[in-house]
Each structure stands twice: as C-alpha cells, then as structure tokens.
Structure 1
Amino acid sequence: MPRPKEFDQELALDKAMELFWQQGYERTSIQDLVEQTGVHRGSLYDTFGDKNQFFLTCLDRFRQVPKYRLFSILEEEGSPKEVLSRFFEKVIDSALGNGTQRRGCFIANTAMELAAIDPGIASRVEAFNLDMESRFYQFLLKAQKDGKMKFHHTLRELSRFLVNTRNGLYVLGKTASDRQSLEDVVKVALSIL
C-alpha cells in the first residue's frame, strides 16, 4: 500500500511557483525545487512528475490563485477610464515591485522564455491571455451597455489591446529606469478609449 503524501501539495506548488517565477524555468533545477519546497526529490517526482510537468502544474496553479489577479478592480465603481486607470496603476505597482526585484508577470515571463518552444506551455499562456481578454471584454461590454463609452474599435480588438498593454507593462517594468515610462504607456492606452 503506497504511503500517503506527507506534505501540503498546494504549499509546495506555491513555493515552486515562486522559485520558477523568480529564476525562470531553465535556471531552476530539481535540487533547487527540493530545497525551496522542503520535499524530497522522490516525493516531488511521485506527486508532480518531472520538472516540466511540475512547471505546467505551477502555471495551472497561477491561473487559479486569486491573489495574483487584479481583475476585481474592473468591478469597482467609477467611470470606465477611472477604473482602468486604477487597474493599470496596480499593474505598474506590481511590475515595479520593490525596485530591486522586478520579477515581472509569471505568465509573461514564461511566454518570453518558453512558449515558442513548448506547445504545452504555449497553450497555458494562451489560455491565461484569453481569460484576461474575456475579463476586459466583459468590462467594456458593460461600459458600452451602460452608455458610458463609445468605441472606435470592436470590443474584441480593444480587449486584446488591453491584454497586450498589461503584458507589456510587466515586460517594460523589468528594465524601466522610472515609473513615468510605464505611466506614459497607460496614458496613451487610455487615450484610445
């Protein structure tokens, strides 16, 4: 009879996700994961599979953990532009982090590092982006139905543009020398709405 798992799988996933997020997939070894999670190598393999499968599980976990999502801001009161401005201010805060460790977005980092070479990872990145697109679409649709905004582009086009703006802020935040660079991107993005 197999022994029951003697560790908290969600906690191990969260710790592994943080390590992958900080170091990237390629720079993270199985030994790094053992040390980060405190779980023996054999137990990690038995529970999560190889490093690639473990990483895919971490990507799935990221999509499910609400603390990594800022989209609840889109449900707040205010004009659509005010709400989007607050949303993107939080994205900028997150992108810039504490100024010394700008880790970016786990999904955006993964897209740049691995999506072009791993179909399993690419499908998860696409699913995350489609989820974001859907949230922006619903937000814009409500603004349109409430008569608060008229658009010169389709809602789908604008939703995709907002996804790209959000992802771009995280990428730019990894190297930008000042906050103003990111705020300028948001200013232009909001001007087309």
Structure 2
Amino acid sequence: MARSKEFEENVALEKAMKLFWEQGYEKTSMTDLVEHMGIHRRSLYDTFGDKHTLFLKAMDRFHDKVSTKLVGEVKRSKTATEALQLIFSFVICGEEDSPSGCLMVNSAVELAMRDAEVDIKTTELFALSEQLFKDIILWGQQDGEFSSDYNADDQANHLHAVYVGLRVMARTSIRKEKLQRIADVSIKLLSSI
C-alpha cells in the first residue's frame, strides 16, 4: 500500500518558488530546498522531480500568480493610466511576503543564455507582458488618454523594457521613490508623444 503524502504539494511548491526567487537557481541547493520546503528529499524527487524540473514548475507557478494578479488589477481599473499605475506600483512595491524583483527576470538574467527551457518560459512571459501593455495602450489611445503618434506595439515594447528594468532595480537598495518617478515619467510620455 502506498504511503500518503505528509505535505501539501501547492504549499511546498510555493516555498520552493520563493526560495528560487530570493536566491536564484544556482545558489539554491537541494538541501536548501528540502529544508525550506519542509519535506523529505525522497518526497521532493517523487513529487517534483529533479531540481531543474522543480525550478521550471516554480517558474510556472510564479507566472500564474503574477498574471492573475496583474490582469485582475487591469480589469478593476477605470482608465488606462490607472491600469499602468497599478502595474508599476505592483512591480515597485511587490507583495508583503515575497522577495523583491521578479523570478522570471532574475531567471532570464541568470540562465536564459544557457538553458533553452528557461529562455522559452521567460520569452513567452515577456511576450504576454508586452501584449498586456499593448492592450492598455490601445485602450488609452481609443479613450484619448494616450497619443497615437507612435503605434501601440512600439510603445508596449518601450514600457516593457522599463518594466523589466524596474524589476531589476527593485532588487537593489535604490529607493522606491526613484523607481516610482521613473514609472510616472514613462506613463506621462504616452500622453505627450
């Protein structure tokens, strides 16, 4: 008879995701994961596979959580400007119990050049983020909030680059006020272009 699991799989995956997010892939050992997740090594391998497979699952979990959060923020927004402000505020302030920065951006910087699976996941997420920015920009152009002097694709590419840069900067000691000013200027440029 098979022994029942003594842990909640989603809780353990959440803990692994946060550890990878905070420390990065290379710095996180299997011993770190076992201790942080509060499960036995054999249970980790049986449930999640090897470290790389667990990391990819953690990336998927991060993507699902962040996408759900950001899309929800956009849907609750009354204006395109408000939607962008909420997205940038989320990037700058993060969530209370989460590491700073972004697991996907950190992973792209650390691994994408030498790990095809990480490159695919980060590139796909970046494309989805750009599409979200494009949709918001089109909304703002349609409502007259944003200028139509440049096409929405180019503006979305620019905003995404700012977004990724802010995600990186959020992991440093740079003050949040400076990051907020960068976001504010980026949003203002949409209406003055």
TM-score bin, normalised by smaller chain: 0.7 to 0.9
C-alpha displacement at 1:180, in angstroms?
3.1
C-alpha distance in 2 between matches for 1:190 and 1:19: 33
Q: Check if 1:180 corresponds to 2:177.
A: yes
Amino acid at match of 1:54: L
Percent of aligned pairs with the same residue? 36
C-alpha displacement at 1:69, in angstroms?
3.2
Structure 1 segment 33-182 matched on structure 2, within 5 A: 33-66=33-66, 69-94=69-94, 103-182=100-179
Answer with 171-180 or 154-163: which moved more: 171-180
Q: Does the C-alpha gap of structure 1 residues 68 and 116 become closer, same or farther in structure 2, counting only changes over 3 Å?
A: farther
C-alpha distance in 1 between matches for 2:17 and 2:99: 16
Unaligned runs of 5+ in 1: none
CA contact (8 A) 2:21 2:99 kept: no
Amino acid at match of 1:15: K
User: What is the count of residue pairs matched by the alignment?
Assistant: 190
Q: Deviations over 1:119-172 (max 9, x none)?
A: 100111111111211222222222333344332222112222222211111211
Q: Does the C-alpha gap of structure 1 residues 187 and 77 become closer, same or farther in structure 2, counting only changes over 3 Å?
A: closer
The TM-score, its normalising length taken from structure 2, stands at 0.85
C-alpha displacement at 1:68, in angstroms?
7.3
CA contact (8 A) 1:62 1:68 kept: no
C-alpha distance in 2 between matches for 1:6 and 1:187: 48
Q: Does the C-alpha gap of structure 1 residues 7 and 86 become closer, same or farther in structure 2, counting only changes over 3 Å?
A: closer
CA contact (8 A) 2:70 2:87 kept: yes
C-alpha distance in 2 between matches for 1:61 and 1:24: 15
C-alpha distance in 1 between matches for 2:43 and 2:77: 47
Q: Does the C-alpha gap of structure 1 residues 147 and 190 become closer, same or farther in structure 2, counting only changes over 3 Å?
A: closer
Q: Does the C-alpha gap of structure 1 residues 68 and 29 become closer, same or farther in structure 2, counting only changes over 3 Å?
A: farther
C-alpha displacement at 1:93, in angstroms?
1.4
C-alpha distance in 2 between matches for 1:57 and 1:102: 18
Unaligned runs of 5+ in 2: none
CA contact (8 A) 2:16 2:33 kept: yes
Q: Does the C-alpha gap of structure 1 residues 107 and 139 become closer, same or farther in structure 2, counting only changes over 3 Å?
A: same
The TM-score, its normalising length taken from structure 1, stands at 0.85
Answer with 44-53 or 77-86: which moved more: 77-86
Q: Does the C-alpha gap of structure 1 residues 66 and 175 become closer, same or farther in structure 2, counting only changes over 3 Å?
A: closer
Q: Deviations over 1:34-90 (max 9, x none)?
A: 111121111211221111111011101111225873342222344422432233233
Q: Any idea what SS the aligned residue of 1:192 has?
A: helix
